[in-house]
Amino acid sequence: MKKTLTTLLAIVFLCVSLGLAQAQKPSDLKFAPLKYDPPDPRAFRTQLANGLRAYIEEDHNLPLINVAAMVNFGGLYLPKDKQGLDNVMSGTMIRGGTKTKEGTAIEERIDFLGGSLGFNVGDRTATLSLSVLSKDLDEGLGLFFDVLMNPEFREGPLNLTRVRLVQQLRQANEQPSAVLSREYEKVLYGESPLTWQPTRKTFESITSADLKAVHAQYFFPKNIIMTAAGDFAKADLIAKINKYVANWQNKSVKFPVFSKQFPQPEPGVYFIQMPINQGYINVGHLGLEETNPDYFAVQVMNFILGGGSFSSRITMKVRSDEGLSYNQGSRFSYRWGFPGTFSGYVQTKSSTVGYAISLIENEFNRIRREPVADAEMDTAINYYLESFPGSFETAQSRMSTFANLEINGRPMDYYKTYRDKIKVVTKAKVQEVANKYIHPDKLVVMIVGDWEPCNKGGDQWPGPLDKLGKVHRIALADPLTGEIKK
């Protein structure tokens, strides 16, 4: 008996000590298994009155409610001579008031309740979002649907918005990073609704009637997906929303059809003069669509190339090894319905502009030429697998993630199968997509910076910049007029 007790105590002691053992190095650590199944979007999807779709989740942790309506309408749907209507609408949808209320009264009331009501028009989605304490749900919803259904775009607030936008337009050529991203897209997409810019004239031409026409055309239940998360009873909320939209008429709308053909820009250097002490650089060409089956392999490849921060080659080489920059890497950006862009990017002092570009181009070539290392694959794949639950952290983020899934036309089992699709990416596949989607012979090298010192280069990479390809000097358009000064 005594012996058994001693043995038992010894075992207990051993277990406790093991549990408390301090690992000396990371490889000593053993982690308990962790299983996570993502929530199923279908469990939250609800069909409301009049064809309105919604993703709704109760969350009683805090006395808060978040509601949003995502409308299939955006700046891309606008004709060239009405560019900026999206910005004007963003500024006046709430502030311009409704049929029965002044905008200032709506804002004042929401603010008094400690809530927020916001509206923003993006590329292809316009979003009205409300956040209120749950005790204010009824009043908040009333204001939300009044704005969503009956905006009036009154002249006073409309005029103030136009003035503000025109005044902001004056600054459009001063921020180097903003100039770079705008002009880079202009070169890659060419003349296209994707790159049209508002001017003073287009801003000033936008009338209340234009805004109402757009609202009448695109804002109806079947063209909207709602999200709601927070401290409410789901059935009760559904009944309330249905009451608002029961008499809201659906329409038929013909969405613009866009060309997906873009001109092939001449490879080489595109230089934009600005008197600053660094070059702001993008190097790349058009990318792919998010719905492309190669998407997952491209994510893994780009993580290794320059998307995985310090775990990526471009950051390691350009920043960590050479100390050339603070912010660098590569990215595939995605635009719903269009191929996105691919770019290596860096900002570095003028004398090392050419050198940094050459290092990035080396990495483009290397990932095409050689298989990546096992350790790189391991880090990239595990990053996506292990960080996966992070996308579902709050009820609000879950609902908005699911609504976006539907808006972007992705399958409902997208998240269920996500990790499997990452897991099957191989080294060979990484090299294959690197060759398929990175084209060193087609690179547009865009630099915003000071020409003389950038062109001169430094010890590691003496200029001139035309060593990187034919140099095109780009003159910026006057943002107010859209005209290029000769």
Positions 103 through 122 that interact with another protein (CB under 8 A): 104, 107-108, 111-115, 118-122
- Residue among 49, 160, 253, 471 that touches another protein (CB under 8 A): 160
Q: How far is CA 98 from CA 150, 221, 263, in A?
A: 5, 18, 44
Give yes or no for residue 81 binding another protein (CB under 8 A).
no
Q: Is 409 left (phi over 0), alpha (psi -120 to 50) or beta?
A: left
Give yes or no for residue 166 binding another protein (CB under 8 A).
yes
- Report the nearest approach of another protein to the CB of residue 48 (Å): 26
Give yes or no for residue 91 binding another protein (CB under 8 A).
yes
> Residue 126 is encoded by which pair of tokens?
């316009």
- Residue among 192, 199, 299, 325 that touches another protein (CB under 8 A): 325
Nearer residue to another protein within complex by CB, 246 or 385: 385
- Report the nearest approach of another protein to the CB of residue 242 (Å): 27
- Report the nearest approach of another protein to the CB of residue 449 (Å): 9
Residues 258-277 that bind another protein (CB under 8 A): 276-277
- Residue among 123, 139, 289, 361 that touches another protein (CB under 8 A): 123
> Residue 199 is encoded by which pair of tokens?
């001017």
- How far apart (Å, rounded) are the C-alpha atoms in residues 243 and 237? 10
- How far apart (Å, rounded) are the C-alpha atoms in residues 441 and 232? 57
- Report the nearest approach of another protein to the CB of residue 396 (Å): 8
Give yes or no for residue 31 binding another protein (CB under 8 A).
yes
- Residue among 263, 326, 417, 473 that touches another protein (CB under 8 A): 326
Residues 363-402 that bind another protein (CB under 8 A): 378-379, 382-383, 385-390, 392-394
Residues 413-452 that bind another protein (CB under 8 A): none
Stretch of residues binding another protein (CB under 8 A), selected from 90-98, 233-241, 251-259, 428-436: 90-98
Residues 328-367 that bind another protein (CB under 8 A): 331, 333, 335, 340-341, 347-349
CB neighbour list of residue 38: distance below 8 Å, 6 or more residues apart: 388, 389, 391, 392, 415, 416, 418
Nearer residue to another protein within complex by CB, 55 or 189: 189
Give yes or no for residue 185 binding another protein (CB under 8 A).
yes
Q: How far is CA 410 from CA 208, 289, 391, in A?
A: 36, 12, 16
Stretch of residues binding another protein (CB under 8 A), selected from 44-52, 56-64, 220-228, 432-440: 56-64
Is the peptide bond prior to 389 cis by the omega test (within 30 degrees of 0)?
A: no
Give yes or no for residue 235 binding another protein (CB under 8 A).
no
Which long-range CB contacts under 8 A does 405-412 form with residues at least 24 apart? 405/41, 406/41, 406/45, 406/53, 406/225, 407/70, 407/72, 407/125, 407/225, 407/336, 408/290, 408/291, 408/336, 409/291, 410/290, 410/291, 412/40, 412/41, 412/42
- Residue among 5, 23, 43, 257 that touches another protein (CB under 8 A): 23
- Total number of residues binding another protein (CB under 8 A)? 105
Nearer residue to another protein within complex by CB, 52 or 346: 346
DSSP state of 412: T
Give yes or no for residue 101 binding another protein (CB under 8 A).
no
Give yes or no for residue 22 binding another protein (CB under 8 A).
yes
CA 389 to chain centre: 19
Selection from 269, 471, 440, 437 nearest residue 342 by Cα: 437
Give yes or no for residue 13 binding another protein (CB under 8 A).
yes
Q: How many residues does the chain have?
A: 486
Three-class secondary structure of residue 221 per DSSP: helix
Residues 336/260, Cβ–Cβ less than 8 Å: no
Nearer residue to another protein within complex by CB, 110 or 245: 110
- Residue among 176, 458, 463, 469 that touches another protein (CB under 8 A): 176
> Residue 333 is encoded by which pair of tokens?
């950006």
CB neighbour list of residue 192: distance below 8 Å, 6 or more residues apart: 259, 262
Nearer residue to another protein within complex by CB, 50 or 416: 416
Backbone angles phi, psi at 328, to 5 degrees: -160, 165
Locate all alpha helices (DSSP H) within 229-373, ordered by sequence.
234-245, 295-302, 313-314, 353-369
Give the Cα-Cα-Cα angle 468, 472, 477 (nearest 5 degrees). Answer: 140
Give yes or no for residue 16 binding another protein (CB under 8 A).
yes
Give yes or no for residue 407 binding another protein (CB under 8 A).
no
Give yes or no for residue 283 binding another protein (CB under 8 A).
no
Give the Cα-Cα-Cα angle 189, 190, 193 (nearest 5 degrees). Answer: 75
- Residue among 3, 5, 17, 252 that touches another protein (CB under 8 A): 17
- Residue among 151, 319, 415, 454 that touches another protein (CB under 8 A): 319
Stretch of residues binding another protein (CB under 8 A), selected from 258-266, 306-314, 361-369, 400-408: 306-314
- Residue among 41, 221, 306, 308 that touches another protein (CB under 8 A): 308
What b/e readout covers 167-185, taking b as 16+ CB neighbours within 10 angstroms?
A: eebeebbeebeebbbbbbb
